[in-house]
């Protein structure tokens, strides 16, 4: 692992919280992610299922966690099954967990090989009435390839059809939304690495560089500092590319006079940062670019105060839209009279800001949750107001990660966003 060892007390605590949410005489089963085939005999880099990592800290494929709190035999109340590596596997693929390592990482004291799973599952099922099964229920995500958890849910229902089955995903929403102090520290580390990468590109970007070169500078900084890499495909959109919300090709030239919008973040110990900064390619904002940029920045600063207990993403979206509407009027994009005459179903601001401005973040960049769930202390969300003016070739987004508290905590307060600071840092880079 590239990251420092995480104390198993975090995962023990997380499992105890889950146990309080499940019904008596229940079994919980969570699978590791698959190794995803790429082409030929190659796999994509492995990334662990966030839910099993949350409960165990295991960062390896071919693992299963079973939790059966009411089993009469204590050794069956928590079990991890993992692959038994023989000499051939170790020679070709490298080290795999042994049983002692699994215990040290997870705090689970009963560790078995995957070969023992089927017979042990029958033992567990004999003593339970209901089973909690896991599935990714993110509402905007519907992959063609079924996950290991999804495939397993079909298999176990076929083998044990008369048990009662429950969804585990709603329980994870309640658990994973509120971060423990150890999780906040890992998120802060991811944000700090993101800050390092931003300082690096501030000194690198100039007219003539390619968007993918900017991405490479970020990647270099992430890897050398111990991150696993990017938390998601980075967006490096210069000029009109900044107007494409999910632009990831990153293959154009950064030109004189253009802005470059960078949506990027480090992943550290599977916890992720999500940052956006928009800067001038030549190191100096034009008067119009600065006017638009500072409008977005004013809204972000004002909206940071909204991340307090009791608020919701839905409410924040509505408040930010009104703030941005006022700024758009000030920028001459439309008038107050135009707003009075607009179709309420198609507000004018939507032509220049067509997305929500917040989402949960944690083990996933779009973490578990809903825009209607009231905020509680310890929840972490992004805040990303923006403006996109197609006819002027201006796309500006500024995004920070905010922890909910009575006084909200900006985990990205150290990442430069003031016009003067950005121009000064880029000026030092351009002199080289």
Question: What whole-number distance in Å separates Cα of residue 226 and Cα of residue 268?
Answer: 7
Residue 284 shares a structural domain with residue 163:
no
Percent of the chain at pLDDT > 70 equals: 99
Check if 399 is active-site.
Answer: yes
Question: What whole-number distance in Å separates Cα of residue 146 and Cα of residue 124?
Answer: 25
pLDDT at residue number 432: 41
The one catalytic residue among 41, 86, 144, 345: 41
Residue 188 shares a structural domain with residue 314:
yes
The one catalytic residue among 34, 211, 274, 401: 274
Check if 258 is active-site.
Answer: no
H-helix segments, 177-312? 181-202, 211-224, 287-304
Check if 166 is active-site.
Answer: no
Q: Is residue 2 part of a domain?
A: no
Question: What whole-number distance in Å separates Cα of residue 53 and Cα of residue 41?
Answer: 27
Last residue of a domain, one of 176, 210, 228: 176
Q: Which residues of 227-248 are buried (b: 16+ CB within 10 A; e: fewer)?
A: bbbbbbebbbbbbebbbeeebb
Q: CB-side exposure of 337: number of CA atoms within 13 Å?
A: 0
Check if 249 is active-site.
Answer: no
Assign residue 48 the CATH number of its domain.
3.40.350.10
Question: What whole-number distance in Å separates Cα of residue 200 and Cα of residue 194?
Answer: 10
Last residue of a domain, one of 142, 158, 176: 176
Q: Which domain holds residue 81?
A: 9-176
The one catalytic residue among 263, 367, 401, 423: 263
The one catalytic residue among 294, 366, 405, 414: 366
Check if 384 is active-site.
Answer: yes
- With contact defined as beta carbons under 8 Å apart, do 351 and 409 qualify? no
Q: List, for residues 193-212, the tens digit of each pLDDT value.
A: 999 999 999 999 999 999 99
The one catalytic residue among 246, 249, 256, 338: 246
Check if 401 is active-site.
Answer: no
Over residues 318-325, the mean pLDDT reads: 98
According to DSSP, residue 348 is labeled G
The one catalytic residue among 397, 401, 417, 423: 397
Q: Is residue 1 part of a domain?
A: no
- With contact defined as beta carbons under 8 Å apart, do 366 and 359 qualify? yes
Check if 359 is active-site.
Answer: yes
pLDDT at residue number 92: 87
Question: What whole-number distance in Å separates Cα of residue 302 and Cα of residue 8?
Answer: 39
Q: List, for residues 52-96, the tens digit of each pLDDT value.
A: 999 999 999 999 999 999 999 999 999 999 999 888 888 888 889
Over residues 137-142, the mean pLDDT reads: 79
Check if 97 is active-site.
Answer: no
Check if 199 is active-site.
Answer: no
Assign residue 270 the CATH number of its domain.
3.90.230.10
Q: Is residue 395 part of a domain?
A: yes
Q: How confident is the model at residue 375 (pLDDT cuts 50, 70, 90)?
A: very high
The one catalytic residue among 359, 364, 401, 417: 359
Question: What whole-number distance in Å separates Cα of residue 236 and Cα of residue 241?
Answer: 8
Question: Is pLDDT above 80 for 430?
Answer: no
Question: What whole-number distance in Å separates Cα of residue 139 and Cα of residue 50?
Answer: 17
Question: What whole-number distance in Å separates Cα of residue 57 and Cα of residue 51?
Answer: 9
**Helix/strand/coil for 165:** strand
Residue 277 shares a structural domain with residue 408:
yes
Check if 230 is active-site.
Answer: no
Q: What is the pTM of this model?
A: 0.95
Check if 366 is active-site.
Answer: yes
The one catalytic residue among 97, 247, 349, 388: 388
Residue 160 shares a structural domain with residue 98:
yes
**Helix/strand/coil for 313:** helix
Counted domains in the chain: 2
Burial class of residue 207, CB neighbours in 10 A (0-12, 13-18, 19+): middle
């Amino acid at each position: 692992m590239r990251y420092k060892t995480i104390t198993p007390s975090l995962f023990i605590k997380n499992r105890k919280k889950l146990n309080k949410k499940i019904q008596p005489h229940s079994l919980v089963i969570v699978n590791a992610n698959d190794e995803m085939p790429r082409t030929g005999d190659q796999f994509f880099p492995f990334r662990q299922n966030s839910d099993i990592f949350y409960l165990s800290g295991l960062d390896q494929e071919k693992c299963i966690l079973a939790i059966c709190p009411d089993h009469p035999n204590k050794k069956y109340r928590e079990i991890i099954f993992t692959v038994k590596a023989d000499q051939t596997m170790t020679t070709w693929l490298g080290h795999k967990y042994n049983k002692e390592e699994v215990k040290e990482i997870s705090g689970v004291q009963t560790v078995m090989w995957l070969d023992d799973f089927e017979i042990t599952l029958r033992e567990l099922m004999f003593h339970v009435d209901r089973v909690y099964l896991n599935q990714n229920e993110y509402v905007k995500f519907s992959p063609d390839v079924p996950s290991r958890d999804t495939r397993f849910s079909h298999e176990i229902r076929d083998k044990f059809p008369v048990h009662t089955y429950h969804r585990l995903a709603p329980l994870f929403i309640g658990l994973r939304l509120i971060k423990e102090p150890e999780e906040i520290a890992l998120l802060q580390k991811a944000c700090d690495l993101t800050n390092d990468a931003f300082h690096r590109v501030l000194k690198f970007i100039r007219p003539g560089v390619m968007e993918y070169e900017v991405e490479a500078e970020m990647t270099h900084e992430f890897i050398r500092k111990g991150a696993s890499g990017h938390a998601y495909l980075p967006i490096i959109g210069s000029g009109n590319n900044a107007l494409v919300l999910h632009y990831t090709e990153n293959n154009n030239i950064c030109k004189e006079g253009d802005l470059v919008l960078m949506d990027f973040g480090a992943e550290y110990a599977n916890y992720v940062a999500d940052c956006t900064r928009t800067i001038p390619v030549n190191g100096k904002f034009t008067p119009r670019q600065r006017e638009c940029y500072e409008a977005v920045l004013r809204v972000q600063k004002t909206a940071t105060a909204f991340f307090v207990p009791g608020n919701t993403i839905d409410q924040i979206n509505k408040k930010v839209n009104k703030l941005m509407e006022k700024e758009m009027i000030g920028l001459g994009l439309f008038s107050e009279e135009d707003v009075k005459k607009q179709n309420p179903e198609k507000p004018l601001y939507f032509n220049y800001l067509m997305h929500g401005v917040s989402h949960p973040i944690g083990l996933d960049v779009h973490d578990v949750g809903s825009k209607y769930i009231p905020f509680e202390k310890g929840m972490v969300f992004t805040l990303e107001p923006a403006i996109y003016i197609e006819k002027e070739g201006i796309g500006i987004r500024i995004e920070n990660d905010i922890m909910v508290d009575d006084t909200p905590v900006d985990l990205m307060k150290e990442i430069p966003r003031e016009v003067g600071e950005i121009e000064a840092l880029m000026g030092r880079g351009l002199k080289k």
